[in-house]
Amino acid sequence: MSLIETHRPLLQEAAAALHDRRYYSPFPENPKAYPTEAGAQGEASFHASLNKDFDRLLQDQPLRFEGEEVSPYLQSGLGIRYPVFADKTLVAKAQKARTSWVQAGPELRCAILVESLMRLRDHFVEIAHATMHTTGQSYMMSFQASGPHAADRALECVAMAWQEQTRYAKQAAWVKSMGKVSVELHKTWKPMGKGVALVVGCSTFPTWNSLPGIYASLAVGNPVLVKPHPKAVYPIAIVTAIIQTVLQENGFSPELCQLACDSTAHPLTKELATHPEVRTIDYTGNSEFGQWLEAQSLFGKTIFTEKAGVNAVLVHSAPDLKAVWDNLAFSVSLYAGQMCTAPQNIFLPTQGITDASGQHHSYQDLVDGLSQALCKIKDHPQMGPGVLATVQNSRTLERIRSVQEQAGDAVLLASEPIAHEAFPDALSCSPLLIEASADRKDWFGAEQFGPIAFVIPYTDVDQAMNLMLEQIQQHGALSCGLYCTDADLADRLADRLAVAFVPVSLNLTGPIYLNQHAAFSDFHGTGGNAAGTASFCDANFINQRMVWVGRRDMVAVHPNA
């Protein structure tokens, strides 16, 4: 059975899920769903890779090897070095590899990419350890986000690319009657990728944020340069090596997907981004550099960005406030607020809330309820370290200390160190909660990356919404939460947010959180506000990477009867 026949059923299932928007995943998120030996093998592979040159890549003759990853849990270097190449060398090799990949056609390309995802399953545990010790995520979050969830997003992009490239007829006999004669043409069409693609990764989610761009570009025929953050190379290096191996096994150049490493001392991103043959760029990271990259669209490049945003939650009413606080506290605490969808600004009504039982909760009760829910997480000896994980960068800790000192008496809940029994040197802390009046935009008016949240009291719900929309207009948002039992009001507020191109989560409680976006169902980002130009995964995420090229062959001019 050919690779196309083998993987066509999965692609058909994935494409159907794209249309239905139902829950779908061929990659279980529970580690127990995988072979029992996978855990030991993956951990052994992780330890065997430390303090060595990463030699799994099929890329020859590097200029040198470099590495600077430090475990946020151990506060020691991983000692792994990766090959470094000149930007011109990477681009030249990508261009050389491109021709046969374009000629392969959409179905074979997509089948090969699905095969690489099937191989990736065997490495989820190693990727989890690699993610944990580069990003500071907990082990379980590292396993899920960098393994199954990242693979889901990749498959979503491949399925969308398969669908978009095969939705039209490949050829047609075109006949037009023109009076006494009919003209016949033979027409064919090909989807053609725009050229070399660059994917710029981030330090907190090195695979989840990078795989969509990598797989979307490869699926439409574009060779890809994978430029990881120098502090988080290992997880995406594993993925790149697997893709290269599968490409080579199927007769294609492994240089269709190259790891383009650099260092903080000698960055390579600008050189790659401005190379005239790099036509598509995917980027996750800070807004300043993202805006510089977006300006490259003036030079004919297609740019997909996910930058910083200011995510907000407006609490108007709720039947069960404890369920609200538990849910919201988890969203604020998860991975120490270092998720791009984490809530930062929490609007609470000064008049308080009356719950379903008729009990009235004052504004102070609301603040206390949220604070207590946050403390319940941070003070739990198992839950606290597991949920909060660690801070990836020491600059985040410095920011927390600075903001806490400036806030003074406005601090509702101070940030505290969190001890990890197995990792005594781990950089970890609990969320900082600050009360900020509506005029303190110097505090809450831009993203404060990390476990920092602001409670903003409001007297009028429309004024609160106006302030939220003002921040969204300036800085964008990737998520937004509403708690409201008035259906008409909820619809009106959600509609206002929709006009600002912000997705809304309404009345979330239980084990589903603002932070979570599910592949095949939720569009991660809309691409319509200042937080970024990308959406994982709508048709634009695929179609902007390629063009349709037609050919018309003259057949004959026929006399009409």
Burial class (CB in 10 A: 0-12, 13-18, 19+), 212: buried
* Contact criterion met (CB below 8 Å) for 413 and 371: yes
Strand partners, 315: 483
Q: Find the angle CA(69)-CA(70)-CA(76) to the nearest 5 degrees.
A: 135
Question: What separation in angstroms does the CA of 185 have from each of 170, 176, 189, 558?
Answer: 14, 9, 13, 11
**How distant, in Å, are the alpha carbons of 308, 347, 446, 477, 547 from that of 530?**
8, 21, 12, 7, 26
What's the CATH number for 312-506? 3.40.309.10
Q: Could you give the residue ranges of the DSSP H alpha helices within 379-485?
A: 383-388, 394-407, 441-444, 461-475
Amino acid at 81: R
Nearest to 84 by CA among 103, 59, 105: 59
pLDDT tens, N- to C-terminus, the chain (561 residues):
799 999 999 999 999 999 999 999 999 999 999 998 999 999 999 999 999 999 999 999 999 999 999 999 999 999 999 999 999 999 999 999 999 999 999 999 999 999 999 999 999 999 999 999 999 999 999 999 999 999 999 999 999 999 999 999 999 999 999 999 999 999 999 999 999 999 999 999 999 999 999 999 999 999 999 999 999 999 999 999 999 999 999 999 999 999 999 999 999 999 999 999 999 999 999 999 999 999 999 999 999 999 989 999 999 999 999 999 999 999 999 999 999 999 999 999 999 999 999 999 999 999 999 999 999 999 999 999 999 999 998 899 999 999 999 999 999 999 999 999 999 999 899 999 999 999 999 999 989 999 999 999 999 999 999 999 999 999 999 999 999 999 999 999 999 999 999 999 999 999 999 999 999 999 999 999 999 999 999 999 999 999 999 999 999 999 998
In 10 A of CB 526, how many CB atoms?
Answer: 20
What b/e string do you get for 382-412 counting C-beta neighbours within 10 Å, with b at 16 or more? eebbbbbbbbbbeebbebbeebbeebeebbb
Residue showing tokens 């050829």: 171
CB 374, CB 402: distance < 8 Å: no
Whole-model pTM: value is 0.96
H helix or E strand, kind and range, residue 12: helix 3-20
Q: Please, where are the H alpha helices in 265-390?
A: 269-273, 287-294, 321-333, 363-378, 383-388
- CA 44 to chain centroid: 28
Q: Which amino acid is at 287?
A: S
Q: Is residue 215 within 8 Å of residue 109, measured between CB atoms? A: no
pLDDT score recorded for residue 1: 73
**Phi, psi angle pair for 60, to nearest 5°:** -100, 160
Q: What pLDDT sits at residue 561?
A: 82
CATH number of 3-307+534-548: 3.40.605.10
Joined tokens for residue 49: 């890779």
Rounded to the nearest angstrom, the gap between the alpha carbon of residue 444 and the centroid of all alpha carbons in its chain is 24
* Domain ranges for the chain: 3-307+534-548, 312-506
Helices 363-378 & 321-333 angle (0-180, nearest 10): 50
Name, in order, each residue with C-beta under 8 angstroms of 460's C-beta and a sequence gap of 6 or more.
none
Nearest Cα residue to 26 out of 517, 513, 519, 511: 519
- Choose among 161, 68, 67, 74: nearest CA to 113: 161
